[in-house]
């Protein structure tokens, strides 16, 4: 009978990936942007107890830090329609032209993280793509 109670803990420890249900397309897009902005392999985006997305940092399997995702929160604060032209980083929104938005949508998650860092350091998305 004890195994019934331990099974969820065993599955959790095995790294079972969490799937999310989104209230809107905007929430899904903001989740993707916030997830792409995370640069640490020890940090993941999860839905917190209150329903907001939080960044959870784990070290050696132990939760070290839980913070509200400012990237997600800032993205959700952009009025409807802003989602198609802006990517929100931790420091400020990055506004893309339609051409840049098309390029952005074609990048992998790892490339998006690298591009955000490049842009935060003063580059542009076109410069980032031109380096490769």
- What is d(CA 14, CA 9) in angstroms, rounded to the nearest whole number? 9
Q: What is the pTM of this model?
A: 0.49
Element (DSSP H or E) covering residue 5? helix 2-13
Question: Which pLDDT tens digit goes with each residue over 82-126?
Answer: 444 455 444 455 677 778 888 888 888 888 888 887 877 778 888
pLDDT digits (tens, 9 = 90+) for 103-115: 888 888 888 888 8
What stretch of H or E contains 8? helix 2-13
The predicted pLDDT at position 92 comes to 52
The residue among 59, 34, 55 whose CA lies nearest residue 46 is 55
CA distance 60 to 57: 10
């Amino acid at each position: 009978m004890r195994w019934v109670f331990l099974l969820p803990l065993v599955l959790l420890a095995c790294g079972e990936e969490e799937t999310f249900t989104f209230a809107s397309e905007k929430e899904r897009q903001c989740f993707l942007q916030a997830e792409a902005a995370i640069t640490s392999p020890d940090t993941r985006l999860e839905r917190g107890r209150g329903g907001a997305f939080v960044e959870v940092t784990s070290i050696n399997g132990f939760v070290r830090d839980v913070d509200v995702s400012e990237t997600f929160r800032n993205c959700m604060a952009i009025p409807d329609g802003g989602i198609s032209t802006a990517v929100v980083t931790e420091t400020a929104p990055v506004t893309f032209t339609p051409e840049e938005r098309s390029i952005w949508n074609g990048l992998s998650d790892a490339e998006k993280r690298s591009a955000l860092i490049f842009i935060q350091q003063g580059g542009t998305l076109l410069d980032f793509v031109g380096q490769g």
